[in-house]
Amino acid sequence: MTHLSESEFVDAAEGALDAVRLAHLDTCAACRDQAQTVRAAIRAATSVTMPEPSPLFWDHLSARIREGIAAEPQVRRNWWRPRFAAALGCAAAVLIAVGISVRGLPRQTVPPHLVNSEPPVALSSAPIVEPSSEAPATDAAWALLRDAASDMQLDDANEAGMSVRPGAVDSAVLDLTPAEREALGRLLQDAIKSRSGSGKTL
Amino acid sequence: MLSRTWIAHVQPEWKVTLAGSTSRDADARSFADATDAHLVAATIAGHREAFDVIVERYQRQIYGLCFRFLRTHEDASDLTQDVFIRAYRSLPRFKQESSLGTWLYRIGVNACLNRLSASSAQDRSVPLAETHAVSPEESPADALLRDERAAEVRAAIARLPKKQRATLVLRAYQELPHEQIAAILGSSVGAVKANFFHALKNLKKLLDER
């Protein structure tokens, strides 16, 4: 029969070892010595009792703790719930991805004198980029993210699944085709416009 | 007028009551039978008196834990207050995946271990008068001998590795089940028993060296 394990020595000392394993102690001197050592140590440890404080002590201690708590600001449940935080995490990931993709798109330079002027007259065959196509979208996206994350704590963000590997979003966006990036950008703009129009907030 | 009810058992047969109570005391009494989960919810909802009940319910355990680690009344009292303030601040993040008691013990063990790391409290000697009251049937010489032995045991426990020490305190003094100790220390029951075994073995070895 094998020797008792560390856990079994504890069980033996606490009277929780099953009879079969306990019988091993009758035949094994090494295990018997070890079991006696454990029991002796428990006896030594438990012989040191804690002095019982006076009955008044507990009133004083609780009053002292109460004073300490009174000096603390009122605790509040965080305004986000896990489900909401998960949704927020998804939205934030999309916004970050779109923000990066919009910045990564090839840009066409528009001469300053053509901006906000009369419709162009066949200066080039290339389409002219709307001057408001990028900045408002990224600004709004950033503001949305900033507002949402303003009082977010790291633990809560991790619990909501908002942590990603470094560079994961960048590499995901880089995998998109130019057409896909453009479509993603349009989706983001539409989403932001519709939210702004309806006055909804996250 | 006194604003609080004080009930002092100065002697077993005496009961001194100073009348007068605050509405907070009355509110605390209304929470007296509430479950831990209700007390947590009520505290977060703004009822600080619900937290008073939590303190009343667990201060003895937490003080006992702190005393076993720090070995002086003053340090244990200070740290007990600190543990409850930390718990109050962290209450909104308590997910009730474990019992409130387990969670408080976890905060307590971490606070004790941090305090030991930050100071050399484990090397502090304890005044003999604070260790034991002399019982009528015990001679002064016997009491002295027992106190010396107790000091040796405490010193030996203070030399144990932190996790072994925590396991020994929670099992031998707080008498918590292995399962709860595992939840407090974030380990398995098997690991707790193994730690306890090594703590006892090392304790015996240290005592035999003296």
End-to-end CA distance of chain B: 58
Is residue A101 located within the same domain as residue A183? Answer: yes
CB A47 to CB B149 under 8 A?
yes
Amino acid identity, position B134: V
Residue among B85, B131, B190 minimizing CB distance to A72: B85
Q: Interhelix angle for B100-118 vs B73-90, to 10°? A: 130
Average pLDDT for residues A89-115, to the nearest whole number?
Answer: 62
State whether A91 and A146 are in the same domain.
yes
More confident residue, A75 or A194: A75
Query: Which DSSP symbol is given to A114?
Result: G
Examine residue A64 and state whether it is found in any structural domain, yes or no: no
Q: What is the pLDDT of residue B204?
A: 96
Taking each continuous run of H as one helix and of E as one strand, the counts in chain B are 10, 2
Please give the Cα distance from A9 to A35 (Å, whole number).
Answer: 6
Does the beta carbon of A49 lie under 8 angstroms from any beta carbon of chain B?
A: yes
Cα B157 to Cα B151: distance, rounded to the nearest angstrom:
10
- The reply to whether B55 touches chain A by the CB within 8 Å rule is yes
pLDDT at A131 over 50: no
Q: Does residue B197 belong to the interface with chain A, where contact is any CB pair within 8 Å?
A: yes
Distance CA A103, CA A132 (A): 14
Segments in B3-99 forming alpha helices (H): 23-30, 36-44, 48-70, 73-90
A51 and chain B in contact, CB less than 8 A: yes
Closest CA in chain A for residue B65: A50
The predicted-structure confidence for A157-190, as pLDDT tens digits, reads as follows 555 555 555 555 556 666 677 777 788 788 878 8
Alpha carbon of B153: minimum distance to chain A alpha carbons (Å):
7
Instruction: Name every residue whose Cβ is closer than 8 Å to that of residue B112 and which is 6 or more positions away in sequence.
Output: B65, B66, B69, B70, B79, B166
More confident residue, B35 or A191: B35
CB < 8 Å to B87, chain A: none
Q: Is the pLDDT of residue A107 over 60?
A: no
Of A48, A66, A70, the CB nearest to B153: A48
Nearest CA in chain B to A50: B131
Whether A57 is covered by a domain: the verdict is: no
Domain ranges (residues) in chain B: 159-210
Higher pLDDT, A150 or B151: B151
CA distance A1 to A153: 55
Residue A191 lies in a domain: yes
* Contact state of A64 with B81 under an 8 Å Cβ cutoff: yes
Give strand ranges (E) for chain A.
none
Please report the pLDDT score of residue B30 as a whole number: 81
Quickly list DSSP for A7-27. Answer: HHHHHHHTT-S-HHHHHHHHH
From the candidates B142, B200, B207, which should be mutated to test the interface with A, based on the most A CB atoms within 10 A? B200
Checking DSSP bridges between strand B6-8 and strand B16-18, what pairing results, if any?
A: antiparallel
CB–CB of A179/A105 below 8 Å?
no
Lowest average pLDDT, out of A23-32, A52-61, A76-85, B30-39, goes to A76-85
A to B CB pairs, distance under 8 Å: 115
CATH of domain B159-210: 1.10.10.10
Confidence of residue A201 (pLDDT cuts 50, 70, 90): very low
Q: Is residue A62 part of a domain?
A: no
Q: Which of A151-155, A189-193, B8-12 has the lowest mean pLDDT?
A: B8-12
Mark whether A10 and A88 lie in a shared domain. no
CA–CA min distance B5, chain A (Å): 11
Residues lower than pLDDT 50 in chain B? 1-20, 121-122, 125-132
Task: Indicate whether A187 belongs to any domain.
Answer: yes
Q: For residue A19, what are the domain limits?
A: 6-46
On the 0-12 / 13-18 / 19+ scale of CB atoms within 10 A, A48 is buried
What is the domain count for chain A? 2
A86 and A34 in a common domain? no
| CB-CB neighbours of B70 under 10 Å | 25
Mean pLDDT of chain A: 72
A90 in the same domain as A174: yes
